[in-house]
């Protein structure tokens, strides 16, 4: 190929490439690279948006290590992620398997996808209303079954699980469709031979479907976990971090530091910590992903 005289278009390729890339490079430079560098710089400064940033060395980081609120935010986020991803993945897996074996209906899939298409703010408002202690439908339902009406978002015990389950509601359908798409890649003959061998549905799921889904499942877990870590909207609408900080997740903590207390430098340092944590998480998960390539090869 290279020994042939290059056509004129090939020679101009490099110049053409830069022209094609120009808008994206401008956008990337201005709104990704520059702010990333700036955020990193801020994390070493005292900065309130009003005066110029003032270099303070590693003071923000030192404070962060001793900041009980910061550790609380991490703990809350971790708990949230476990509750949310745990319930969501399990439910989605069951739903995907059921769809896979029962129906190819686009209508069913479309309905399951609706909550994912709706803004999180709407989801938050909707559940705030459904779970309203006086008039909410869910509480009506619970009282009519003899239970006690509870202000779930205002309860220190229930607030975090409630937020986690609300987002499980919002994202299970989407996750199920991703897993379902993965299941469709499993060759049909495996099911036929499983049926010939007399394996029941449950057995087939655990010996055929699940092992072959592993790489897809791992990838879906990585992406949904990254998303879950960044929960903000639902908390901002329903609990605003309360009651007594039980739902103050890391995103909300950073947001408050930056835009309520105007401690931009400190917020940036917490942001750097978040980048590091997510990076480590992704690294570990990708390692596990590599170790678990599909049995189909």
Site residues (CB under 8 A) for another protein, limited to 204-223:
216, 219-220, 223
Measured between alpha carbons, how far is residue 253 from residues 8, 67, 262 in Å?
56, 12, 12
State which residue, 4 or 57, has the beta carbon closest to another protein: 4
Work out how close the CB of 162 gets to another protein at its nearest, in angstroms, rounded to a whole number. 14
Work out how close the CB of 251 gets to another protein at its nearest, in angstroms, rounded to a whole number. 6
Report the Cα 180 to chain-centroid distance in Å: 19
Of all helices (H) and strands (E), which one includes residue 55?
strand 54-55
State which residue, 79 or 181, has the beta carbon closest to another protein: 181
Interface with another protein, residue 98, by CB under 8 A: yes
Stretch that binds another protein, among 18-26, 58-66, 68-76, 203-211 (CB under 8 A): 18-26
Q: Cα separation of 54 and 262, whole Å?
A: 14
Interface with another protein, residue 94, by CB under 8 A: yes
Work out how close the CB of 196 gets to another protein at its nearest, in angstroms, rounded to a whole number. 19
Contacts with another protein by CB under 8 A: the residue count is 95
State which of positions 136-175 bind another protein (CB under 8 A). Answer: 137, 140, 169, 172-174
Work out how close the CB of 296 gets to another protein at its nearest, in angstroms, rounded to a whole number. 15
For residue 153, cis peptide bond before it (omega within 30 degrees of 0):
no
Work out how close the CB of 54 gets to another protein at its nearest, in angstroms, rounded to a whole number. 15
Residue 55 phi, psi (nearest 5)? -65, 130
Work out how close the CB of 224 gets to another protein at its nearest, in angstroms, rounded to a whole number. 9
Q: Tokens for 216?
A: 């897809």
State which of positions 228-267 bind another protein (CB under 8 A). Answer: 229-230, 232-233, 236-237, 251, 254-255, 258-259, 264, 267
Interface with another protein, residue 106, by CB under 8 A: yes
Q: Cα separation of 38 and 42, whole Å?
A: 6
Q: Is 171 exposed, middle or buried (0-12, 13-18, 19+ CB in 10 A)?
A: buried
Measured between alpha carbons, how far is residue 235 from residues 7, 39, 93, 238, 280 in Å?
58, 24, 26, 5, 25
Residue 292 phi, psi (nearest 5)? -120, 45
Interface with another protein, residue 268, by CB under 8 A: yes
Work out how close the CB of 295 gets to another protein at its nearest, in angstroms, rounded to a whole number. 17
Question: Which residue in 95, 154, 92, 120 sits closest to 234, CA to CA?
Answer: 120
Residue of the chain from 39, 211, 242, 243 that contacts another protein (CB under 8 A): 39
State which of positions 174-203 bind another protein (CB under 8 A). Answer: 174, 177-178, 181-182, 184, 201
Work out how close the CB of 156 gets to another protein at its nearest, in angstroms, rounded to a whole number. 18
Residue 21 phi, psi (nearest 5)? -85, -15
Q: Cα separation of 146 and 119, whole Å?
A: 34
Q: Which bin fits 148, alpha (ψ -120 to 50), beta or left (φ > 0)?
A: beta
Stretch that binds another protein, among 54-62, 78-86, 115-123, 155-163 (CB under 8 A): 115-123
State which of positions 55-84 bind another protein (CB under 8 A). Answer: none
């Amino acid at each position: 190929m290279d020994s042939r005289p290059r056509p004129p278009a090939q020679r101009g390729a490099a110049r053409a490439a830069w022209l094609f890339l120009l808008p994206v490079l401008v956008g990337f430079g201005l709104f990704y690279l520059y702010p990333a560098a700036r955020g990193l710089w801020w994390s070493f400064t005292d900065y309130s948006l009003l005066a110029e940033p003032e270099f303070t060395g590693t003071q923000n980081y030192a404070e962060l290590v001793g900041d009980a609120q910061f550790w609380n935010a991490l703990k809350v986020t971790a708990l949230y992620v476990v509750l949310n991803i745990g319930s969501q993945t399990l439910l989605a897996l069951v739903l995907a398997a059921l769809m896979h074996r029962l129906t190819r209906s686009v209508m069913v899939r479309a309905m399951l996808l609706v909550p994912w298409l709706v803004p999180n703010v709407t989801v938050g408002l909707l559940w705030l209303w459904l779970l309203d202690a006086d008039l909410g439908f869910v509480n009506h339902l619970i009282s009519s079954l003899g239970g006690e009406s509870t202000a779930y978002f205002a309860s220190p015990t229930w607030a975090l699980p409630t937020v986690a389950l609300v987002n499980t509601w919002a994202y299970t359908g989407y996750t199920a469709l991703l897993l379902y798409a993965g299941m469709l890649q499993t060759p049909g003959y495996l099911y036929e031979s499983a049926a010939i061998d007399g394996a029941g549905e449950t057995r087939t799921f655990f010996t055929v479907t699940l092992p072959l889904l592993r790489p897809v499942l791992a990838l879906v877990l990585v992406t949904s976990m990254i998303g879950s870590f960044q929960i903000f909207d639902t908390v901002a609408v329903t609990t605003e971090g309360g009651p007594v900080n039980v739902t103050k997740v890391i995103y909300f903590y950073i947001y408050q530091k930056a835009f309520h207390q105007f401690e931009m430098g400190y917020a940036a340092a917490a942001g750097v910590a978040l980048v590091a944590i997510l990076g480590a998480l992704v690294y570990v998960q990708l390692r596990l992903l590599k170790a678990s390539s599909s049995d189909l090869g």
